[in-house]
Amino acid sequence: MSDGTVLYGVPVVETAGQVVLHPRVDQWLETVSALKADGFCMAIDLTAVDYSAHPGRTNLPDDVNPERFEVVASFISHVDGGRRVRLRVQVPEGDPSLPSLFNIFPGTEAMEREVWDLLGIAFDGHPDHTRILMPEDWVGHPLRRDVPMGRIPVQFKDSPVSR
């Protein structure tokens, strides 16, 4: 898929008209810092995906090895008419962690907590690595595909249970 294009020292592709960078875990902070220095002043989204159900996906550049987890972050430059760039970093199942972006983009604090809470990807150096959506006593990370889905009984109006 990659045509050999590199930007900030990482493979880059264009998808749906948007530049998509594919840094390795060890290039994560350096790439984000370079983006900020080039005018990308806001992290508008940070999320993650568990690709365990799609291990052989082919939508990555040829020189990027797919991992179970992928952290995706989007940035915007207001000085360039709203130009956007997306980063997709492959995070290994054996060490699901990345450095925190909090010191570069403080607005990522809650987004990183949500990724940790729901998928178990840690952000090293994060100022408050506590749950944000799940109860504190919750065991595990519910959006991992290896967690069994729970069931909540539905109560209907005028059912014997609601009387």
CATH superfamily for 6-162 is NADH:ubiquinone oxidoreductase Nqo5 subunit (3.30.460.80)
CB 96 within 8 A of CB 67: no
Q: What is the pLDDT of residues 99-155, one digit of tens each?
A: 999 999 999 999 999 999 999 999 999 999 899 999 988 888 989 988 766 666 666
- What's residue 38's pLDDT? 95
CA distance 141 to 117: 6
Q: What is the pLDDT of residues 46-88, one digit of tens each?
A: 999 999 988 777 789 988 999 999 999 999 999 888 999 999 9
Q: What is the pLDDT of residues 17-55, one digit of tens each?
A: 899 999 999 999 999 999 999 999 999 999 999 999 887
- Greater pLDDT, 31 or 5: 31
CB 74 within 8 A of CB 21: no
Per cent of the chain over pLDDT 90 is: 69
Confidence of residue 1 (pLDDT cuts 50, 70, 90): very low
